Amino acid sequence: MKVTIVGGAGGVGASTAFNLGLMGGAHELILVDERPEMITSHVMDLQQVLELSPGCTVAGGDAADVRDADVVVLLSATPLTVGTSRLEYLAKNSSIADELADGLPAGWAGVIVVVTNPVDPLVTRLQQRTGHDRRRILGYTINDSLRLRTGLGRALGVPPGSVEAWVVGEHGDASVPLFDRVTVKGLPVRPTPDQAATAEEFLRTWYVRHVALDSGRSSTWTSGLGVARMVSALDGDGELWPASVVLEGEYGIEGVAVTVPVTIGRRGAEQIHEWQLGAGDLEALRTAAEVVRGATAGIDPSGPKKSRA
């Protein structure tokens, strides 16, 4: 499986390639970025990783490497700044997404994994601009669920990895934690109101607290491992994931992308699941969709969609 990582010189791109290398699948990894010296540096380093964990190949590439890729991971983005919400990056990052969209050939049959923020409007934008099968454009959003699990684990006093919990909706302020689907070591648990509030505060403040450090880095380790596992799932027989995907009537939502539970496999979203949500959670999910719709509608169209060879 050829995996082209657009934005491969950055921390998350390099971490994704590193984790895919450790997983040992027969992947052809191509790193693409506007900083060729950084790409060369990462490739030189990763080649020795493959001596310890063989299976993949890794090389630098260019924009043309999206054309025959099985999976394209979009990571390129404008740098993070303190006090800026994800949605405020939309104007600049949409032009990056447009460039990717316009570089894909007609009839391209691969899968795009969007990591660049804001994920949901960019997934929506890419699907509109390319006309690509909506199930083959997926937004990486599991970090919200992981942060909820961390917060719940602390509130419940259980070790990391014990909690399964899900966040749907927008990857941002309009996210929707599902407290009625929490399990601990596989057993259903209903958090108390105080426990839920503690976990939700952890979820909703993590991004702000992290960006406020002004460290110049994003969630390199979490996202690198998570994206690598998501890419590996695309080469598998089906795994349940939270992912942003354009909906066509599911949950009463039409034409925009939000995070919902999906089964990921070789065709992208093999199945989009419609869980029974409580009335409040369903209303919040639909509100999140309208936030994404409004943001997407505000993108400068920058002219008509370009024709693709």
For 142, the enclosing helix (H) or strand (E) is helix 142-156
C-alpha to C-alpha distance for 134 and 245, rounded to whole angstroms: 7
C-alpha to C-alpha distance for 270 and 243, rounded to whole angstroms: 12
Sequence letter at residue 168: V
Burial of 266 (0-12, 13-18, 19+ CB in 10 A): middle
Given the residues 27, 42, 132, 171, select the one marked as catalytic. Answer: 171
Token pair 């454009």 is at which residue? 137
CA distances from 175 to 7, 29, 89, 142, 240 (A): 26, 32, 18, 12, 19
Q: Rounded to 10 degrees, what is the CA torsion of 185, 143, 115, 62?
A: -70
For 41, the enclosing helix (H) or strand (E) is helix 36-52
42 part of the active site? no
Token pair 């450790």 is at which residue? 22
In the chain the first and final C-alpha atoms are separated, in Å, by 23
Strand-pair partners of 271: 263
Catalytic residues: 171
